Structure 1
Amino acid sequence: MLKLALLAGLVGFCAAAAKLEEVFAWKEVSYAWPNDEARNEAVKNGEYIRENNLPLGLERWKDKLFVTVPRWKSGVASSLNYVPLSPANKTASLIPYPDWKANTIPKGEEKLEDNAIVSTFRVSADSCDRLWVIDTGVADILGGYKIIAPPAIVIFDLTTDKLIRRYNLKPEDQKADASFFANIIVDVIPGKCDEAYAYIPDLGGYGLVVYSYAENDSWRIKHNYFHFDPIQGDMTIGGVDIQWTDGIFGLALGPADETGDRTVYFHALASTTEFSVNSSVLKNKTIALDSLSYDLYKIEGNKGEKSQTSASVFDEKANVLLFTQLVKDGVACWNANKTLNAQNVGMVAEDHENLIFTNDIKVDSERNLWILSDKMPAFLYKKLNPEEINYRIYKVAVDEAIRGTPCEA
């Protein structure tokens, strides 16, 4: 019986792993340089140090898959990039977006261009064919921590690759010596592009910044649910012990009701609890900043032991929240029609070799789930082996991913 149980478990694991299609796999990332001379000059000047370029965030728009490379360390050649999805090339070089100049740090008295991207962690494409980027404005984060520009929302027209708007976050949107903005989620109803809102979590300052596109204005919200759980900050990922204090990090939007409002699901990274609030609370500046709105936030439940999560995304058709599982090397799901607890959470992918630190996930317009894993703890605190595949991007259809889990309707 024991042998049969072990065999069944092995078959189940293989079946789950077979669901994922490996689209990209890199030992170290390269870039589509204008020519060899430009690459050699960048290497010589320390502007490109191959091992310091770690892909972190992703987003799909048509035939482009955007891949961000934050400037954790010196020598990051370009922070906002894309790779074409056809022709298929698993080791494709990253193409800077919108171009090389926008991703080059100014030297001396050079002016930062309005379309410049200093360092971004995550981006979001909306139904209006716009790419929303949250630029931290900081280079060499783990080294000299060079503040090049204030944190900003940068919006591009994906059909023309032209800048639509750059909005610098206001000083009052930030908490001195604490704020760090590494995610952006766009709330827009198709056909009402000018009424869009963006939600930008502050993982270090434990706040949430809301930006109104129509008003070109922003406001900062505070709530106890935005803080990390001190009991859940210790994690072992890929053999690396880490102690993190990251607060509100991942956000996901449920389906819109007849008024255009949605449930906004959110969590701290160093936590296993999921929370929610109706978007009408966030979008109304008067209500959002009123202390009486405190009770309008809801505890959805606990995802279970060792279920710390970075990114999350909601699939409206299945009514399922998908979220990364950092300690478990995978991605999990929860059907929002059910109570959120460990029993109702299903693993849609788990691989202790290839899914170490599932940093970002997205669901595209065709309902494909995209997963990026990058071994980030080892990159930050140890050293990655350049002879091994360190960075992977997978995809799988949402319906296939949740099949056989508690997330099926």
Structure 2
Amino acid sequence: MASQLETLVYLLLMVLNLVNGILDTSPLETITQWKLISYNFPPKSPTTDQSFYSPENILITGLAIGYDRIYVATPQLFSGVTATVSSIPKVGAGDNPVLEVFPDWSYAVAGRKDFNCSDLKLISVYRMRIDSCNRLWALDAGISRSLEDYEVTCPPKILVFDLATNRVVRRIDFPRQVLRGESLFTNLIIDETTSKAGTCDDVFVYISDTVEPAIVVYDSQQDVTWRVSHPSMYPDPDFAQSEILGDRFVLMDGVVGLTFDEKAGIAYYQPLATDRVFSITREVLRSGPIALTQLLPVKLVGKKSSQGITLGVSPIDGSLLFSPLSETAIASWNPTTGRQQTLATDQQRLQFVADLTTPRIENGALYMVSSKFHRFFLKNLNRNEYNNRILRIDLTGSTPSSLSPFIPTKPSTNYAFYSTNSIEKRPSVSSFVSNTAVTGNFFSSPNLSPFGYELFPKSSRNPFTALNPDEALQTKLTRQPSESSFLDNLPPVGYTYKRFTRSIGAEKNAMIN
């Protein structure tokens, strides 16, 4: 009996040592975290007014990493979001840091009606990016309460801030010809691959329109804008319902995940409501609108194990970075070598990763923002838990675990060029942690099955949700194995085909790598 007890104690100690080893060697670092978000309110702010400040409705969806500060985006998903862009110190913020409204309180519009859309205001920013000239590009969707009554407060725009002075150095307004009735601009890429060193005004910007699915392209040097669309940018009703640790929610988001491989010149994208990742080359996006009768040369990169909202590219080896929601993980796939890895798994800290960024000022660092979005959405938030986090992984030193190989397996309306007429220079107005592989594969072989249905129509009141909250959802449709899907049969990587240029009838070969 004593011998058996000693053996049991020894085994328990071994298990504890193993768990401690896993915890100590996890590559996932918590930079800061919040239970509920608060701001550096001015004196006499109406913080008891729910339309001005409702902490249960404020979550972070985007971040940008500066030299000494971290900038965060808190969009107006619900009422009571006081300000949409803020910052915190990069070092020493601790837990629950107070958000400092950026660039100052004159840009905030919560509870206000005394402003014009031509004013320097920020309505609702989902994501931001910092260029090589240390300027912050804030993409303002202009939509208030997008998950409630979806008010189109102002047209979308981009404000470019010089982070040395926190002043607006450029404003980009989008012409109405590239907008649709419920356009929601949620993500952006700044493509500087062919810009002249030190000038950051000859770039291309690629923008996701999530509700009216498309990618909007802005040529900064020519100051013109166009949009391109493809069925792959639309939500798939089979994947309208997402699940995180038993919480299920329905969200029919179109293209929202958007990232760019600068070395390969390839943009990757994904809707939230899909299990697929797609790609398109820089040359295709830059070549302007194509004929209405033609399709964009989009490629199916592969399939994931569950939905995801964000994508990134590793600066180390060009691997595609992503976060499958149901697996609460950060994973990568190298499109050149086919190597697939789990960088981190954490059921508490990685529940809903909304944004990834690899700042050029920290080569090899991957920052991400996670939240319990599903709890905000379902209105079952626990105020005593941490509900927003900023996390970091060192891509040069992490020891990810391997998964099974990633197996890789056409597009709608396009328009003419439109001038934005918007270059303006004006000053601003004043737990469980594991480094083991997640159960199941992140990717699978493409299924040869079609869409036997039309896309869900969007509600005129809330274009995100296709179903009433109490409606049952059949998450998977029954398809015949012999049937073939349009998206599953997109050309794989390396396929050469012909596409039309903006001169209708003119053809040229285009190789998508």
What band does the TM-score fall into relative to the shorter chain?
A: 0.7 to 0.9
CA distance in 2, matches of 1:316, 1:293: 34
Read off the aligned partner of 2:336 and give its amino acid letter.
N
**Higher RCO by CA contacts (8 Å cutoff, separation 6 or greater):** 2
- Write the mapping of 1:9-408 to structure 2, written as runs, cut at 5 A: 11=19, 14-15=22-23, 18-34=26-42, 37-39=43-45, 41-44=46-49, 46-105=51-110, 107-112=112-117, 114-177=119-182, 179-189=183-193, 191=197, 192-256=199-263, 262-285=265-288, 288-290=289-291, 294=295, 296-303=297-304, 305-306=305-306, 308-339=307-338, 344-365=339-360, 366=362, 367-401=364-398, 403-405=400-402
Read off the aligned partner of 2:41 and give its amino acid letter.
W
Read off the aligned partner of 1:26 and give its amino acid letter.
W
Shift of 1:83: 0.7
CA distance in 1, matches of 2:15, 2:96: 34
Distance 1:76 1:136, change over 3 A: same
CA distance in 2, matches of 1:22, 1:326: 19
Percent of matched pairs sharing the same residue: 28
Out of 120-129 and 291-300, give the one that drifted further. Answer: 291-300
Structure having the higher helix fraction is 1
- Counterpart in 1 of 2:452? none
Does the CA contact (< 8 Å) of 1:17 and 1:349 recur in 2?
Answer: no
Shift of 1:97: 0.9
TM-score (norm 2): 0.70
CA distance in 2, matches of 1:223, 1:94: 38
Does the CA contact (< 8 Å) of 2:235 and 2:271 recur in 1?
Answer: yes
Shift of 1:388: 1.3
The count of aligned residue pairs is 389
Shift of 1:88: 3.5
CA distance in 2, matches of 1:255, 1:108: 42
Deviations 1:79-110 (A, max 9, x none): 11111113342321111111111123484443
Distance 1:244 1:148, change over 3 A: closer
Secondary structure, counterpart of 2:116 in structure 1:
coil
CA distance in 2, matches of 1:175, 1:9: 57
Read off the aligned partner of 1:398 and give its amino acid letter.
L
Out of 190-199 and 218-227, give the one that drifted further. Answer: 190-199
| Divergent runs of 4+, >6 A | none
Shift of 1:217: 1.8
Out of 241-250 and 21-30, give the one that drifted further. Answer: 241-250
Does the CA contact (< 8 Å) of 1:323 and 1:333 recur in 2?
Answer: yes
Secondary structure, counterpart of 1:325 in structure 2:
coil
Deviations 1:49-98 (A, max 9, x none): 22222122111011111111111222111111111113342321111111
Does the CA contact (< 8 Å) of 2:143 and 2:184 recur in 1?
Answer: no
CA distance in 2, matches of 1:132, 1:82: 14
Distance 1:9 1:230, change over 3 A: farther
Shift of 1:188: 1.0
CA distance in 2, matches of 1:292, 1:104: 43
Read off the aligned partner of 2:187 and give its amino acid letter.
N
Distance 1:71 1:13, change over 3 A: farther
Does the CA contact (< 8 Å) of 2:65 and 2:359 recur in 1?
Answer: yes
Read off the aligned partner of 1:215 and give its amino acid letter.
Q
Q: Which has the larger radius of gyration?
A: 2
Distance 1:145 1:292, change over 3 A: closer
Does the CA contact (< 8 Å) of 1:238 and 1:377 recur in 2?
Answer: no
CA distance in 2, matches of 1:106, 1:75: 8
Give the alignment's Cα RMSD to 1 decimal.
2.8
Shift of 1:293: 6.5
Shift of 1:145: 2.9
> Structure 1 unaligned runs (5+)?
none
CA distance in 1, matches of 2:111, 2:51: 15
Secondary structure, counterpart of 1:249 in structure 2:
strand
Does the CA contact (< 8 Å) of 1:320 and 1:407 recur in 2?
Answer: no
Read off the aligned partner of 2:164 and give its amino acid letter.
T
CA distance in 2, matches of 1:323, 1:8: 31
TM-score (norm 1): 0.87
Does the CA contact (< 8 Å) of 1:135 and 1:152 recur in 2?
Answer: yes
